[in-house]
Chains A and B, each alone.
Chain A
Amino acid sequence: DSGVTQTPKHLITATGQRVTLRCSPRSGDLSVYWYQQSLDQGLQFLIQYYNGEERAKGNILERFSAQQFPDLHSELNLSSLELGDSALYFCASSVATISGTSGVSTDTQYFGPGTRLTVL
């Protein structure tokens, strides 16, 4: 058990709908990362939050958004869902201390069990 929790474990919805995935990081971790894993692709980084603020963006679609709340849990919102959005969505967390002037220094990331999203 990594200490990162994600809910729900499974989600089945229809095209055009909107869903919210939730993540609680390990106790003490300030950074949360979201990843998408499709069958034919590896882990794709979507977005990172550090202590409530967006820190880095990867290949995240305009239809997707995220936020991190004061209690450090995070939500990933997926809207106008398409069939191709079906995938495993993982959240990871790390301590992530500030490193000099180069911005946030990420350290080892621990992954949650994931949410399997199926869009029909």
Chain B
Amino acid sequence: GQQLNQSPQSMFIQEGEDVSMNCTSSSIFNTWLWYKQDPGEGPVLLIALYKAGELTSNGRLTAQFGITRKDSFLNISASIPSDVGIYFCAGLPQGSARQLTFGSGTQLTVLP
């Protein structure tokens, strides 16, 4: 099946720092989504990207749909303690298999 490589697996940053994470694939994707999941909760949609090259912001979060349609990144600026959680990328691959494929997640820890 489709594979998404998400990196880094985990990050420890100081409060106030910026953070960046990304997802890459060997296949073309038509949609990229970024979710955040708190422990024991469901993933919450942060940003949705539908067009190659699209750059979208949601508060301190910015995500981009790569021009090649095989990658996406998420930036968080001026991190705060409540940014702690697991961030997942998800992509909808081109073709007839219209199923979201998820990355393995980035565990973010924000130190005070």
Within A42-80, the residues touching B (CB, 8 Å) are 42-43, 45, 48, 55-56, 58
A108 touches B99 (CB 8 A): no
Are A43's CB and B98's CB within 8 A?
Answer: no
Known: A42-B88, A108-B48. A56 touches B99 (CB 8 A): yes
Q: With A42-B103, A106-B92 known to touch, is A111 a contact of B42 (CB < 8 Å)?
A: yes
* Number of A interface residues in the complex (CB < 8 A): 27
A103 within 8 A of B: yes
Q: How far is the CA of A102 from the CA of B105 in the complex (A)?
A: 30
- Taken together as a complex, chains A and B put the C-alpha atoms of A106 and B33 apart, in Å, by 12
Query: How far is B91's CA from A43's CA once the two chains are assembled, in angstroms?
Result: 12
Contacts of A106 in B (CB 8 A): 92, 98-100
Question: With the chains together, A109 CA to B100 CA distance in Å?
Answer: 9
Of the candidates B33, B92, B100, the one having the most CB atoms from chain A within 10 angstroms of its own CB is B100
- Among B1-56, those with CB < 8 Å from A are 31, 33, 35, 40-45, 48
Alpha-carbon gap, A114 to B39, bound state (A): 11
How far does the Cβ of B56 sit from chain A's closest Cβ, in whole Å?
Answer: 12
Contact B102 A43 (CB under 8 A): yes
With most chain A CB atoms within 10 A of its CB, the pick from B33, B98, B104 is B98
The size of the chain B interface, using a CB distance under 8 A, is 23
Closest to A4 in B: B42
The residue that B42 contacts in the complex, of A45, A58, A103, A114, with Cβ under 8 A, is A114
Whether A45 pairs with B100 at a CB distance below 8 angstroms is yes
Inter-chain CA distance A62–B32, complex, in Å, is 30
Residues on A with C-beta less than 8 A from B92 are 106
- Nearest first, the 3 A-B pairs at minimum CB distance are A111-B42, A43-B102, A111-B43
User: B: which residues have CB within 8 A of A?
Assistant: 31, 33, 35, 40-45, 48, 88, 90, 92, 96-105
User: What are 20 contact pairs spanning A and B, CB under 8 A?
Assistant: A2-B42, A2-B45, A4-B42, A6-B42, A43-B88, A43-B90, A45-B100, A48-B99, A56-B97, A103-B96, A106-B99, A106-B100, A107-B31, A108-B31, A108-B45, A108-B48, A109-B90, A111-B44, A112-B42, A116-B40
